[in-house]
Structure 1
Amino acid sequence: MTVIRQDDLIQSVADALQYISYYHPKDFIDAMNAAYEREENPAAKDAIAQILINSRMCALGHRPICQDTGIVTVFVHVGMNVRFEADMSLDDMVNEGVRRAYLLPDNVLRASVLADPDGKRANTKDNTPAIIHHKLVPGDSVEIHVAAKGGGSEAKSKFAMLNPSDSVVDWVLEQIPKMGAGWCPPGMLGIGIGGTAEKAMQLAKESLLEPIDIQELQARGASNRAEELRLELFEKVNATGVGAQGLGGLTTVLDIKVMDYPTHAANKPVAIIPNCAATRHVHFTLDGSGAAELPAPKLEDWPEITREAGDSVKRVNLDTVTPEEVQSWQPGDTLLLNGKLLTGRDAAHKRMTEM
């Protein structure tokens, strides 16, 4: 019987969250670079270049890929031959790992989790609690998938209880314009089909943990209905022209993931959850030998890209800018800002509206 020590699990979760805060998965970098190479739309190409340059800088400096460092989702598969040497519950151990990660002095991560969501919406200050899913499986190890999900992409999640004869493809394509660019494409779409309402949503979220492999699927062809949907939706979603950061172009999604589950004869539950360009997840296994080891990627994994701003660059002095000048800006323009800039988010917007 394998013995998993409490602090090994806690430290592994903490290390994983720091790791994914500044390292994109290699499959994502490769797919994004391929999208950059084939992109023809100047604004979209520039947006992808910024994503890749930012990613490389974050890997070098160990700083967050995105200012929204996400709400933590953890999938834990516990082998039935495992015993925990712990005085905390499994959820408490995971949450302690989250707490350590987000409060680490060397790279403090933004805490975005609020308690009393329809009331005071008070920040928990350490990004706990995480969203935790458990599964007991055969074996003598503990497998853990850790992800950090940004609020912008999560806000664009969709669910519908379709009629059994309804087309999943038609419904998904109907949702894409409604999602706009607020989910920060290019990324991935996770689609869950079947089960019940909550099962479909969980399937969609879990599918996003899979590596980007749509090109391999295109090469070998589909072997089941889920893979047929992936291929059809990948082509049709990219044909919508939403593109990188909503600026048009060839790549809206880097991959489509589909997971399904048996469902009631009267139902066809379908869920979409998008992953943004700050795709952050990692998988590790605890076998009783200590905390998980997460090897640092090689710098050569990132392409060296130099941004070419083009002819659409406009220099803006924020201290003297006029409403007329603002009206002259067009989508796709690159603005180089100089001067004093005040920023605010939801609470500030609400207060300004009320005033």
Structure 2
Amino acid sequence: MEKIGVVGAGIVGLAVARELAARGAEVTVLEKEHRVAAHQTGHNSGVVHAGIYYPPGSLKARLCREGVALLREYCAEHGLPYEEVGKLVVASTRAERPLLRELAERARANGVPGVAELDGLGLREIEPHAVGVGAVHSPRTAIADFPAIARRLALDVVELGGSVRLAHPVRAIRESSGGVQVMAARRRFTFDRLVVCAGLGTDAVAAMAGRPGEVRIVPFRGEYYALAGAARDLVRGLIYPVPDPRYPFLGVHLTRRLDGEVLVGPNAVLALAYEGYSWRDVRDLGQIAGWPGTLRMARHHWRTGVKEIYGSLARRSFLNAARRYVPELRAGDLRRTEGGVRAQAVARDGGLVDDFAVDVQGRVVLVRNAPSPAATSSLAIARHIRGIVPALAR
């Protein structure tokens, strides 16, 4: 029986562990935190993306569409909440209409079901309090509880004979012809293969494995407000702007959650620590700024960066972004709530890596880039990893 280690107990790492354990491997998950889903999985808006944004033929497009089907089935099997509330991508000006049309064409090319193009009156039939000159409607876009899914995946791993070891930060990795030795907490583990799904900690683990690579993780903090009181009733499902094609971020949007809360956000402001949930946390600034790609990215996109920083500091910026689509909102309707940090791979030339990226070298598999829609795609990403590594496919 092959012994496989998985670093990271977010939803992707746990999905990979479950997939490999189900194929007969002895799997051990190593997680530095005291709980699963502690970072990206536990700090997102809970949207199950339908696949409308991603270039046809990309890994994101294929694995998102496969992942939606697998996730819907998994939630049904285990009694986990999954609700198709639908999404509107709204054009607020006529200048955005060509981009909206391209988005509809891309969604159809990706096989997203039920996509419809609506005019200003049509979108109000879906969201009565929303305004715009047109919209793309994706009725099958859903919301789910990703931390609950992660906890269920962890239980699956254990039931399949594996183990999930919390509070086990990886300290060292040494690869040889006979296997991969991993020091985690105060224990030594020996694996036939190691799969790294470390999210914000990807670079640190990759360096331990001797594979720093030509892309590095740059953290972007996503901050949220929540609608208070009766303002929640102004949003039925999900209302998104037309995305800027220069960036992999989707812009400030309104998202109904399973508990009835409606989020406004996120923005995308450069964080100063890999787990930098506030401006006060600057502990990784030197390392982040030391990657040449970070400074080149900043030079290319400084105007957008300044705008995002302003939005981080000014509630009115969030309010104005939300009021473009729901003009009835007022300043008192927004209250600050918990945000998250996104692990975004950036190349040496400053380019933002858009697609999923998996690096296979020797006995180590590194998930280099798995931003949104990674949670949606997690079960499909797990199958993809199992399929591209011959020893794991047996």
Shorter-chain TM range is under 0.3
Per the normalisation by structure 2, the TM-score is 0.25
Higher strand share: 2
Structure of greater Rg: 1
